[in-house]
Amino acid sequence: MTYRTLVKGGIIYSLDPDIGELPRGDVLIEDGKIAAVAGSIEASDARVLDAAGRIVLPGLIDTHRHLWQAALRQIAADWTLTQYIDQMLLGYGPRFSAEDVYAAELLGAIEAIDAGVTTVMDWAHIMYSPDHADEAVRGLRDAGVRAVFGYGSPGGPPAEWYADDVTRVAGRHFSSDDGLLTLALASMGPEFGALDDALADLELARRLGVRTSIHVGVGLLGQRRSITELHRRGLLGPDLIFVHCNMCTDAELRLIAETGGHASISPRVEMQMGHGYPATGRLRAAGVQPSLSIDVVSGVGGSVFAEMRGTLEAERGIAHHTALSRGEVVQELGITTKDVVRMATIEGARTLGLDDRIGSITPGKQADIILLDVDRPNLSPLNNLSAAITLADNENVDTVLIGGRIVKQGGRILEHDLGAVQRGAVASRDRLLSAAAKAEVAS
């Protein structure tokens, strides 16, 4: 039996060039996919979702987020990159049990859904054992989010079981490519690891047919010229996602464009921690349309709305500063609210290689759709759709559908006992902090 849902009477912001924006329109969903979008659709047998006073847009997409840090939220809010590496990656990281990873993945993925993020690339460089990987995947699956699970070694020389385990996880959890969860490799790359390990990672990912995500151009490590190194070996390609890119040269950014590669930027974390100035404008000038990412959920919150605003502010701020320092003024802003909404949706889908199934409200794509309540004090009266989307917050995320399944409605998360999820995260947090305190006393 065909299962139909009709999203009725909303303000459609489709991100599909043929559909555009509809001041009032309907979206018909059949068996989890978008079947039709029009001003008015008759579907008497469909369940109706009233979208009056709601902006209807594709679910937001985050292309790099370390979900495993969700139970340690706020801890890194005043840290530099050096403090983050010392305390989070080298301090707390090794104390994570598989149980801690599960608790954080579940909480972090629900946080994403609550904030209108229907797809997240989970950059999971916390794989201290095969059990850690299984529990991370279980957390994502239980949360019900669409996710790209980025299998990652925690840094240092990879464990001897690591490559075999990536292959095991690919076969065990990702044998079909059409589910909510897909696989990628979260590689330390040539900046955070040894070059030979980075090359082995690329070979492994290409053998498995999955994308590889690498942090590049990060602070002083960014002077290692990872992209140039990979280019010299003929290894760049459309299956690579370059995270941050702050200290990459313009020539390196052009190499990403020429080889069909992708970029994921996290301007708020980059400005806080000292990765270098956000590369947003330089990437766009080089021909790379970046996607957005939250990165360190233990430092900044999980709101992609906030990331859109941070991206705009950083890029506009530097343009004004550069002009004023020359005694000139900017006549027209080079980056708009429309641009960042694209980065948070369709460009995210392209980065992850999922643009055939998500990223816009297009017939045939998965029904990953969110309804923003704009009839609230922070957004009413509505005068500009893309501006309202960037100025929204979680309070405006009224309804979230993933593959046509309603996972948030009327501002409330469905399918989960939030109290139990939070208790699990608190217990994990307490274990991690007391283990850290004990280590402190012992040293």
- Write out the residues near Zn ion by the rule CB under 5 A: 295
> Shortest Cβ distance from residue 381 to Zn ion (Å)?
39
> Shortest Cβ distance from residue 244 to Zn ion (Å)?
7
| Closest CB to Zn ion among residues 213, 390 | 213
| Closest CB to Zn ion among residues 295, 307 | 295
> Shortest Cβ distance from residue 272 to Zn ion (Å)?
13
Pairwise CA distance, residues 4 & 419, whole Å: 32
| Closest CB to Zn ion among residues 68, 102 | 68
| Closest CB to Zn ion among residues 351, 362 | 351
- The CA R_g of the chain, rounded to the nearest whole Å, is 21
CB count, 10 Å around CB of 306?
Answer: 18
Looking at residue 119, its amino acid is T
Could you give the C-alpha distances from 297 to 74, 88, 291, 419, in angstroms and in order? 8, 12, 17, 20
> Shortest Cβ distance from residue 266 to Zn ion (Å)?
7
Of the candidates 5, 148, 7, 127, the one whose C-alpha atom is nearest the C-alpha of residue 68 is: 127
> Shortest Cβ distance from residue 186 to Zn ion (Å)?
9
Bridge partners, residue 33, by sequence: 30, 366
DSSP H or E segment with residue 4: strand 4-13
> Shortest Cβ distance from residue 123 to Zn ion (Å)?
5
CA-angle at 277, arms to 272 and 281, nearest 5°: 130
> Shortest Cβ distance from residue 258 to Zn ion (Å)?
25
For helices 98-114 and 418-442, angle between their N-to-C axes, nearest 10 degrees: 130
| Closest CB to Zn ion among residues 273, 392 | 273
CA-angle at 276, arms to 326 and 65, nearest 5°: 135
> Shortest Cβ distance from residue 70 to Zn ion (Å)?
14
Q: What sign does the dihedral 357-207-102-66 (CA atoms) show? A: negative
| Closest CB to Zn ion among residues 297, 312 | 297
Q: By Cβ distance, which residue is nearest to Zn ion?
A: 295
| Closest CB to Zn ion among residues 14, 119 | 119
CA 86 to chain centre: 24
> Shortest Cβ distance from residue 69 to Zn ion (Å)?
10
CA-angle at 127, arms to 273 and 72, nearest 5°: 45
Of the candidates 410, 281, 382, the one whose C-alpha atom is nearest the C-alpha of residue 336 is: 281
Could you give the C-alpha distances from 345 to 109, 116, 143, 180, 192, in angstroms and in order? 17, 11, 21, 17, 29
> Shortest Cβ distance from residue 352 to Zn ion (Å)?
15
| Interacting residues of 209 by C-beta distance below 8 A, sequence separation 6+ | none
| Closest CB to Zn ion among residues 144, 189 | 189
CB 428 within 8 A of CB 104: yes
| Closest CB to Zn ion among residues 265, 370 | 265
Q: Where are the beta strands (DSSP E) in 90-180?
A: 117-124, 146-151
CB count, 10 Å around CB of 367?
Answer: 26
Q: For tokens 């994570």, what's the residue? A: 96
| Closest CB to Zn ion among residues 241, 397 | 241
